[in-house]
Structure 1
C-alpha cells in the first residue's frame, strides 16, 4: 500500500443502547471499546469499538438521528441497518468468535466457503447479527 491509498477509517452503526452495544462488541466479538467511559460521563456523544489500529466502529445512539443536520437523510436512515460489515480474522480468532457468539446464544449461519472479498476468496465465512439487528460477516483467509 502506498501512502496515498485510501483506508477504511470508521463505520457508523445506529444503536439503541451504546453501552450495551459496546459490551456486546467487547465480550462477544472481542473488539476493544473506545471512549466508553467518556460517553457514560456525558463527555463524548458516542462510544466506538476498535477493529484494528486504523479502523473503528462508531456506536451512534438512535436518539441523535434528528440532530445530524450535516448528514442529509440521517433521520430516515436510522433503524435501517446496512447490508453487512465484514470482519477478517485469523483462523483461531474466527473459531473463537463463533464459539463466543454461540455461548451467548447469538444465532450464526452455517459456515460458507470460498466467498470473495478484499483479499480474494476466504476459506470460511459466517454471518451473525448484533443486538440492534446489524448484520456482520466473519471470515478468514488461507
Structure 2
C-alpha cells in the first residue's frame, strides 16, 4: 500500500507578508515564494512545514476567486479547529520561548494527547496573527 502525505493546508490571512514574517520569525518555518508574492508574480506565499508539506498563506481577498468546486468561495473564514505542528523537544521548547517572548498567548500544556504518531508527551496551542489556532507538540524520540 502506498503512503499518503499531507501536501498543504490553506490558511486564510489578511496580510500574507505579515503572516509569513510571523511563521518565519516566531514559529521558525521557512518562507516559500515570498519574493515572488511581493513582486506580484505569485498569488500567495507559503511556509514549509516539512520537505513535503506547506502552509499556504492565502489572502482573504482571494476568497471570491476560489471556485475549484461549487460553493468554495463561501469557505473563506470557514473555521478549522486547528493545525498541529510536530517537532523535536528542543524545537518545541524554543518555539514556546519565542512565542512568550513575543507576547503571543499560549495555552497550558496538554499531556499525552493522541496524534499521528501516538501519544505526545506535551503540546500547547497558540493563535497566529489572523486568529488561526496552531498546536505545537513533540513526541518521544
Interval containing the TM-score (normalised by the shorter chain): over 0.9
In structure 1, the gaps of 5 or more residues are none
Given candidates 111, 124, 127, the residue that maps to 1:126 is 124
Helix, strand or coil at the partner of 1:22? helix
Give TM-score scaled by structure 1 length: 0.95
Report deviation, 1:78.
1.2
Given candidates 71, 80, 83, the residue that maps to 2:81 is 83
Report deviation, 1:69.
1.4
Aligned residues: 140
Structure 1 runs (4+) deviating above 6 angstroms are: none
Structure 2 counterpart of 1:62: 60
User: Could you tell me how far apart the structure 1 residues matched to 2:49 and 2:104 are?
Assistant: 20
In structure 2, the gaps of 5 or more residues are none
User: Could you tell me how far apart the structure 1 residues matched to 2:8 and 2:118 are?
Assistant: 22
**Alignment map for 1:29-48 (pairs within 5 Å):** 29-48=27-46
Structure 1 counterpart of 2:96: 98
Query: Alpha carbons of 1:42 and 1:140: their partners in 2 closer, same or farther (altered >3 Å)?
Result: same
User: Could you tell me how far apart the structure 2 residues matched to 1:88 and 1:9 are?
Assistant: 15
Report deviation, 1:79.
1.9
